[in-house]
Structure formats: C-alpha cells, structure tokens
Amino acid sequence: MAGLRSLAQGYDRADDVDLTGFAGSLTTYAATLALTVLVGRATNHRLPQRYDPADLAIGALATHKAARLLSKASVLSPLRAPFSEFTGPAGPAEHAEQPRREGGIRRVVGELVTCPFCLSVWMGSGYVAGLVLAPRPTRAFAAVMTVVAGSDFAQHLYQRLRVD
C-alpha cells in the first residue's frame, strides 16, 4: 500500500479525494464481478457469443432509469440519507444531495449513491449479469424501468406542452 500511496502522491494536494476509499470501491466492484463469474460457472451459465440489440437498448433505458431513481428520487432519499446530505430540490420528485463530508465508507458510498453516472456502471453490470444468470426476471425488471422512463418522458413533455 505504501507503494500505491507514493505513486498517488501529489494527486490531490487539498486532500479532497478519498483515493483509499475509491480503491476499496473498485476492489469491491472487481470482487463482485469475479464472484458473479464464479457463480455463473458453478451453475453452468455461460456468456453468450453476442447480445440481442433489443436487450441492450432496453437495458440502457432501464439502467438509466434505475440509476436515476436510486441516486435522485425523493422517495428513495431514506436509503441515501446515511451516506449523503440534502442540498435542495432538483426538479420533479428529485433531490439534490452531496456525499457526507466526513471521510470513510459513508463518504465513498455517498459518492456512489448520489451519482447516477457512477451507479450506471454497477447497475449495467448487474443487468448484463442478470441476462446470463436469470434472464426472465432481469428482462421483467428492465421492462418496468423502461416503461417508467417512457412515462417520465411523457410527463415532462406534457408539462412543457400544457397550456393553462
């Protein structure tokens, strides 16, 4: 670890970035992927040669919506509260939040759960793994999230076009 610290020395002179915490989250992500591969092999599930373009398109919308819900939805704020701080409303049914200021695991998890882009990597990986390990429930969940994303788009469009 000392070698890693010396390589990163000078990266963040203000000490705003928790490189150790981020290294831990990367390790957790890699370990989760490795465990998923091991489970797949143990249960005789193999990666497909290619993915159906419809699964990828639906998965992209579903991953977007699921990550947005988890990271921004007002109703899911109790799940983020231990790791984030409320900073204000952020549009229809969404909260603006920032990671907890204190360091450690709460801040690192806060960085993840307040960032829809960051969550999309984890959720997209889970979606692709789900297509291999449990395709029917994975597609059902993706269908729900895709329908919700379409509904959200229609709600925003309606709001813009509405004339009172």
| pLDDT digits 0-9 by tens, 59-86 | 999 999 999 999 999 999 999 999 999 9
Position 1 pLDDT exceeds 90: no
More confident call, 140 vs 22: 140
Q: What is the pTM of this model?
A: 0.86
Residues 34-45, mean pLDDT to the nearest whole number: 95
Q: What amino acid occupies position 66? A: A
Is residue 152 exposed (0-12), middle (13-18) or buried (19+ Cβ within 10 Å)? middle
**Among 96, 128, 134, 130, which residue's Cα sits nearest to residue 115?**
96
Q: Give the pLDDT confidence of 98-116 residue by residue, as tens digits.
A: 999 887 889 999 999 999 9
Distance CA 25, CA 19 (A): 10
For residue 2, pLDDT over 70 is answered with: no
Strand stretches in the chain, DSSP E: 84-89, 95-99
pLDDT of residue 21: 85
Domain ranges of the chain: 17-46+54-161
Looking at residue 114, what is its pLDDT? 96
- In the three-class reduction of DSSP (H, G, I as helix; E, B as strand; rest coil), residue 44 is classed as coil
To which residue do tokens 């981020």 refer?
A: 22
What tokens were used for 76? Answer: 């899911």
